[in-house]
Structure 1
Amino acid sequence: MSRSDDLLEIQQVLARYAVTITQGDIEGLIAVFTPDGTYSAFGDTYTLDVFPDLVAAAPKGLFLTGLPVLEIDGDTATGTQPLCFVEHSSHDMRIGYYTDTLERTPDGWRIKTRRMTFIRRNGDHDSGIPHAFERSQG
């Protein structure tokens, strides 16, 4: 595969993340991750088994992402992608960026880790405020 092919495939995986989460397609959302993939925000890291509950507890709306800046090294990549989230009922916005690691798998490029950083009105960049989402104890 050429570098251009890798860039395009990774961009499509990241676009699929934004579209599937916007549409509430949890199965499609999980499919953009490696089986051991994780998502980090709000002071914690979530594995894919709890990711559906995290998404269900989160506000709904439009996930608008920009083109990522990517560094590809063989079968791994790192990247940063800007995000503007617009909540559906109030149109309140949250802005920030994702920091990702990706892997080439037999099924193509997938997200291994995705970390959210919020940009606050005061200019601070942080991982978010821990909130009421609790992992089920089982």
Structure 2
Amino acid sequence: MSDTDDLVAIEQLLARYAVAMTRGDVDRVLAVFTPDGTYSAFGDSYPLDELPALIAAAPKGLFLVGTPVIELDGDSATGTQPLCFVEHSEHEMRIGYYHDTYARTQDGWRLRTRAMTFIRRSGAHDSGRPHAFERGRS
């Protein structure tokens, strides 16, 4: 596979994530990750088995993503992708970017880690308020 083929494959992977999140298709969101994949936001990192609850608690709307910057390194890669999320009922926006790691698997490229950084009106960049999502742990 050429570098161009790898870049297109990763971009399509990220497009599948954005479309699945917009449609609320949790199974397709999970499918873009490696089995040991994690999502980070709100001051914590979540394994895949906690991702459905995190998605269920999140506002619904349009995940509009920009072209990622990707650095290839053999069978792994890193990248950063801008995001503009528009909530469906009030059309309020959240903006920020994802910082990702990717792995080439036997099923193609997959997200290994995805970490959200929000851009605040103040100009601050942060991973979100730790209390924004309550885990279902006892």
Provide the TM-score with structure 1 as the length reference. 0.97
Structure 2 CA distance for aligned equivalents of residues 137 and 7 of structure 1: 38
- Indicate the residue corresponding to 1:18 in structure 2: 18
Structure 1 CA distance for aligned equivalents of residues 29 and 118 of structure 2: 21
* Unmatched segments (≥5 aa) in structure 2: none
Residue identity opposite 1:49 in structure 2: D
* Unmatched segments (≥5 aa) in structure 1: none
Structure 2 CA distance for aligned equivalents of residues 64 and 104 of structure 1: 25
Structure 2 CA distance for aligned equivalents of residues 89 and 97 of structure 1: 22
- Indicate the residue corresponding to 1:27 in structure 2: 27
- Are 2:44 and 1:41 aligned? no
- Are 2:94 and 1:98 aligned? no
Q: Secondary structure of the equivalent of 1:77?
A: strand
- Are 2:73 and 1:108 aligned? no
Q: 2:42–2:133: 8 Å Cα contact kept in structure 1? A: no
Shift of 1:130: 1.7
Shift of 1:84: 0.1
Q: Secondary structure of the equivalent of 2:49?
A: coil
Identical positions, percent: 71
- Indicate the residue corresponding to 1:80 in structure 2: 80
- Indicate the residue corresponding to 1:67 in structure 2: 67
Q: Secondary structure of the equivalent of 1:50?
A: helix
Shift of 1:135: 2.2
Residue identity opposite 2:6 in structure 1: D
Q: 2:42–2:132: 8 Å Cα contact kept in structure 1? A: no
- Are 2:14 and 1:3 aligned? no
Q: 2:98–2:115: 8 Å Cα contact kept in structure 1? A: yes
**Where in structure 1 do 4 or more consecutive aligned residues deviate above 4 Å?**
none
Residue by residue over 1:1-30, the C-alpha shift from the partner in whole angstroms, topping out at 9 and shown as x without a partner, is 000000000000011100001101000000
Size of the aligned set, in residue pairs, is: 138
Shift of 1:132: 4.6
Residue by residue over 1:27-80, the C-alpha shift from the partner in whole angstroms, topping out at 9 and shown as x without a partner, is 000000000000000001000001000000010000000000000000000000
Q: Which structure: greater helix fraction?
A: 2
Structure 2 CA distance for aligned equivalents of residues 137 and 131 of structure 1: 14
Provide the TM-score with structure 2 as the length reference. 0.97
CA RMSD of aligned residues (A): 0.9
